[in-house]
Structure 1
Amino acid sequence: MKSLRLLMAARRVCAELGQMPALQTHAVKSQWLRTVHSSSSPGPSVTTTSSKTVAPFEDAFAKDQRDKASFVQVLDLFCGRDVRRRGHVELIEAALRWMPQFGVEKDIEVYNKLLDVFPKEVFVPRNFIQTMFLHFPRQQECAVRVLDQMEYYGVTPNKHTYFLLAQTFGKHSHPVKKYQRMMYWFPRFKYANPYPVPADLEADPVALSKVCLDRIAADRDAKVTVYQLPASEVREDGTVQEHSHLVGIQSPDQMSLLAEHDPSYPVIVEGPFPLWLKKTCVHYYVLRAEPGASKKVEIGAERCFYYPLQLDLDLERDLGDDLSFDVDDVEEGPVYAMCMAGSGDERTLGRWIHCLQESNPILGQLPVLFRLTSGPQELTLPTQDETESPKEGEARQSSTEEEEETRQSRRMEQ
C-alpha cells in the first residue's frame, strides 16, 4: 500500500509538471531536488544586513585618540563582528601601516593580537602535497609580513607567537619557519653592537647631545661639558632673547694636539654634519686644522748620526703579486674638539671657542675660520626674479625694449 501511494503521488506530480511551461518546470524540479538532497550549511547563519557589513579599515583606524587601547579596540570589534572574519588580510595589512602612528610598533602583545585575527585551524594543510605547494599563500604571506615588521623594529617573538602560528598554519608552514629563523638569529645579534643606541632617546636636547657626543668620540677619556643651557633672557628694551643649548666634548689627547698647533695656521670650525640615531637626526660641529698645521719637529744635531730614523727596504716581489691596485692616502687635519648647538650661527659657535680658551689658552693666539653650511632647517628666501609672475616678467621685458628703442632713436637724431 505504501509503494502504491508513492507511485500515485509521483504520477500526479508528473501530470502537473507536464501542464507547466518549461522555465517554471525547471524551477520546480530544482527546488524539489534541493529540498530532498540538500542539508543545512555548517556554522551559524550569516546575515547580510547593513549593520553587519565591514567598514573601511582605513576609516576604522583614523581616530583622534591614537594609543594602544584604541588600536586593540579596533581589532576586538572586527573579531566579534563576524565568526568567519572575512577581510582579515586587509585588516592586518591596514593595521601594520597604522601601528607607528599609534605608537605600538614595538609591542609584542599587539603583534600577537594581530596574529590572533586569523581564523584558527582553517589554513592548516591536510597532507604533504598541500604543505609543499604553499597552502593558502595569501594568508601565509600576510603572516610573514607581520613577522618582517617585528624584525624591522627589533621585536623578539615569544612562545605565544609560535602557538598562534602553529594553530593557524601548522608546524611546517612558512610563517613558522620564519619564526624559527628569527629565534635563531635574534639572540646572536642582540648584543653584537658594543655601542648600542638607547631604546628610548632622551627628549631633552642637552641629554641627547651628551649621548651623541659620547658615541662620536673615539676616546673613552673624553669629557663632555655643558657650556650653555636653553633659556630665555628679557632685555632692557622688553624684547626676549632665546639662548640655545651648547654642549661640547674634548679629550686630553686633543688638548695636547691643540697645544702643538702652529700659530701661523688658522683653526677651522666646520659643520653642520648630520648624525642619525634611529629616526632622530642631529647635527654637530668640529674644530679642526688643515693638514701640516702642527709644529715641525726639529732633529737635533746629535741625532743626525742616527738619521734616517726609518729604513725602507725594497723587498723582492713574486711574479704573481698584483701591483695594479693602489690606494691614495688622503691626509686630513686633526680634530681638536666637537660640539652640538641649538643654532649653528657664528655667534653661538664663537661662544663655544671662547669657552674652550679656559682649558686651551693657545686659542687666544690662533685665528679662527668659520666654514658653515646652511643646515636642513634653514631655508633660503626666493629672489625677486623667482617670485615675480610671468605677466610681470613680460611687462618688464616689453618696457625694457621700449626704453632701448627710445635710446636708439635719440642717438639717430643727434
Structure 2
Amino acid sequence: MPPDVLKKKPPKLASTLEDRGYLLSDEIFSAVENMKGKTEDGFTLAIEHYKRQSGKYRRGHIEFIDTATKKLKDYNLHQDIKMYKRVFSLFPEKEYIPPTRMMEEFYHMPRHQDAAIQILQEMEDNGLIPDSEIRDMIKDRFSENSEVMYKFQRMVYWMSKFANANPWPVPYHPPDDRIELAKAALRRMSFDINTKIDVWTAENVEDLKAEDEGEEDDFIVSAQSPEQQDLIATHPTDKPVYVEGRHYVYLGSARMTYHVLRTDPPQEGSEFYGIAPDEKEEEFWSDDFDSWNFFAAEEQTAIVPEKSIHEQEDGTILSMCITGSPSQNTLVTWLRCLQDTNPNLENVAVVFKLQEPDAILNYAENHVKEGGPS
C-alpha cells in the first residue's frame, strides 16, 4: 500500500474532524481494493495499515471502525467472527474504563460505546453468537458494567436459546448448487411426509435447454405427494386450476422464488360435503317448526369427508415448484411434466396468475401516498 495514503489532505468538503476521519478510512479501503481486491487478506491489510499509521492514540479510530463494520458485507466477511474481533481490536485497551461506578452509570464515553454496540449488532443481524474472547476484549476496553457488556450478555443469553429453538434448523451456509437449494426449500415447505421431489433438467426435457450458448440451462424442481395426485384425479374438469406466484421463500440467507398450483376451496354447501345446496336451503326454510332446534346443540347428520392437509381455507394446494427462470414458458413446461403422473390435468383449464411481490408492495405504497386507506 502507498505509505502516503494517510498523509493526503482531505478535500475542502471535509469541514469537521469526523468527516476527515471517514474520508481517510475510505481512502485506505480504496487503496487496499486496488491492490488485493475485496478479500480477507485485503481487509486484514487495511486494519494493520491503520494500526501502524494511526499512532498510539489511534486518532480517528471511531470513524475507521464504523467504515470497517459497513465494509464487512462488501467483502463477504459478515459471517466470519474473526473479522469482527479484528475490528474490535482497534479500540485501545484501558482507555475507556471509567474510574468510578458513578461514571459508569452516566454512560461513559458514549460515542465509543455506540461504535462497539454497533459491531455487536452487526453480529446479531448475521446470526453470530459472541464468544468468551469478545467478552474479554469488552472487559479490557469498556469495563464489566458498561452498556457494551450488557449488550453482549443479552446476545449470549437469547441467541443461544433461539439458535436451538427450531427442531428443523436451516443450514447456516446454504448449498451453492441451485437445484439442491430448491430441493431443500421445497422439503421444508411440504407438510406431507410422503411428498416426492422431482427434478427436470435440460438433459431429459428439451424445452429447458438454453437458446443462446452463453446462457445457463433451465431446471424445474417440483414437489407433490400421492394425496395431491388423488386430488387432481378427482378434480372436476369444469373448474380451473391456478398457477400463482411469484412467492418468496428464504433458506438461511438464500432467497428463492416458487410457484403454486392450486384450486379454489370447495364450498361448504356443495356436494363435496354431502349436502346439495338446494336441499340444504329448503331444509332451513321449512315450515315444520317442530323440527327447529332453538336451545340444544345441533347434531351433524351429513357425512362430511375429512379434509387433507393440502386443503386450506384459501384453496387446495396441488403442487409446488421452483424453477431456474420463473417465466411462464418454464411453468408451462412444468405442467406438461406433471401430466405424466396427473393425466387429468390435460382436461382441466389452467389460469396463470403471475405477479411480482415487489409490484404488489409498490402498488400499496403508491395507494397510500395518493390518499387511499392505510
Q: TM-score, normalised by structure 1?
A: 0.65
Paired residue for 1:158?
Answer: 131
Q: Which has the higher contact order (CA 8 A, sep 6+)?
A: 2
* Cα RMSD, aligned residues only: 3.5
For 1:335 and 1:253, locate their aligned partners in 2 and report how far apart those are by CA, in whole Å: 11
Paired residue for 1:368?
Answer: 350
Of 79, 86, 111, the residue aligned with 1:113 is 86
Matched, 1:149 2:122: yes
Of 31, 48, 70, the residue aligned with 1:76 is 48
Matched, 1:252 2:226: yes
1:224–1:113 Cα change, 3 Å: same
Of 292, 297, 301, the residue aligned with 2:266 is 292
For 2:358 and 2:153, locate their aligned partners in 1 and report how far apart those are by CA, in whole Å: 43
For 2:230 and 2:293, locate their aligned partners in 1 and report how far apart those are by CA, in whole Å: 30
Moved more, 50-59 or 138-147: 50-59
The secondary structure found in structure 2 opposite 1:334 is: strand
Deviation at 1:250, TM superposition (A): 0.4
For 1:295 and 1:287, locate their aligned partners in 2 and report how far apart those are by CA, in whole Å: 23
Deviation beyond 4 Å, 4+ runs, structure 1: 49-55, 229-234, 238-243, 311-316, 374-377
The secondary structure found in structure 2 opposite 1:171 is: coil
Indicate conservation of the 8 Å contact 1:269/1:370, yes or no.
yes
Paired residue for 2:241?
Answer: 267
Deviation at 1:343, TM superposition (A): 3.0
Matched, 1:56 2:15: no
Could you list the per-position Cα deviations for residues 268-323 of structure 1 after superposition, in whole angstroms to 9, with x for gaps in the alignment?
22222222345543211111112338973657xxxxxxx99xx998669xxxxxxx
Indicate conservation of the 8 Å contact 2:174/2:253, yes or no.
no
For 1:312 and 1:358, locate their aligned partners in 2 and report how far apart those are by CA, in whole Å: 51
Deviation at 1:245, TM superposition (A): 0.7
Paired residue for 1:338?
Answer: 320
Moved more, 183-192 or 363-372: 363-372
For 1:223 and 1:315, locate their aligned partners in 2 and report how far apart those are by CA, in whole Å: 47
Indicate conservation of the 8 Å contact 1:233/1:242, yes or no.
no
Amino acid at match of 2:45: Q
1:375–1:146 Cα change, 3 Å: closer
Unaligned runs of 5+ in 2: 1-5, 11-20, 276-282, 285-291, 298-311, 360-374
For 1:123 and 1:312, locate their aligned partners in 2 and report how far apart those are by CA, in whole Å: 78
For 1:246 and 1:181, locate their aligned partners in 2 and report how far apart those are by CA, in whole Å: 44
For 1:358 and 1:191, locate their aligned partners in 2 and report how far apart those are by CA, in whole Å: 42
1:148–1:373 Cα change, 3 Å: closer
For 1:196 and 1:314, locate their aligned partners in 2 and report how far apart those are by CA, in whole Å: 51
Of 215, 218, 221, the residue aligned with 2:194 is 221
For 1:59 and 1:230, locate their aligned partners in 2 and report how far apart those are by CA, in whole Å: 50
1:273–1:314 Cα change, 3 Å: farther
Matched, 1:210 2:183: yes
Q: TM-score, normalised by structure 2?
A: 0.72
For 2:163 and 2:212, locate their aligned partners in 1 and report how far apart those are by CA, in whole Å: 52
Could you list the per-position Cα deviations for residues 57-102 of structure 1 after superposition, in whole angstroms to 9, with x for gaps in the alignment?
0121121411112111111122222011111111111111111011
Amino acid at match of 2:81: I
Indicate conservation of the 8 Å contact 2:138/2:149, yes or no.
yes
1:232–1:376 Cα change, 3 Å: farther
For 1:369 and 1:228, locate their aligned partners in 2 and report how far apart those are by CA, in whole Å: 24
Unaligned runs of 5+ in 1: 1-48, 300-306, 317-329, 378-414
Greater Rg by CA: 1
For 1:140 and 1:315, locate their aligned partners in 2 and report how far apart those are by CA, in whole Å: 67
Between the two proteins, the alignment pairs up a number of residues equal to 305
For 1:198 and 1:276, locate their aligned partners in 2 and report how far apart those are by CA, in whole Å: 12
Q: How does 1:176-191 map to 2 (within 5 A)?
A: 176-191=149-164
The percentage of counterpart residues that share the same residue type is: 30
Paired residue for 2:279?
Answer: none
1:116–1:242 Cα change, 3 Å: closer
For 1:162 and 1:199, locate their aligned partners in 2 and report how far apart those are by CA, in whole Å: 23
Paired residue for 2:75?
Answer: 102
Q: How does 1:307-318 map to 2 (within 5 A)?
A: none
Paired residue for 1:172?
Answer: 145
Could you list the per-position Cα deviations for residues 29-53 of structure 1 after superposition, in whole angstroms to 9, with x for gaps in the alignment?
xxxxxxxxxxxxxxxxxxxx95999
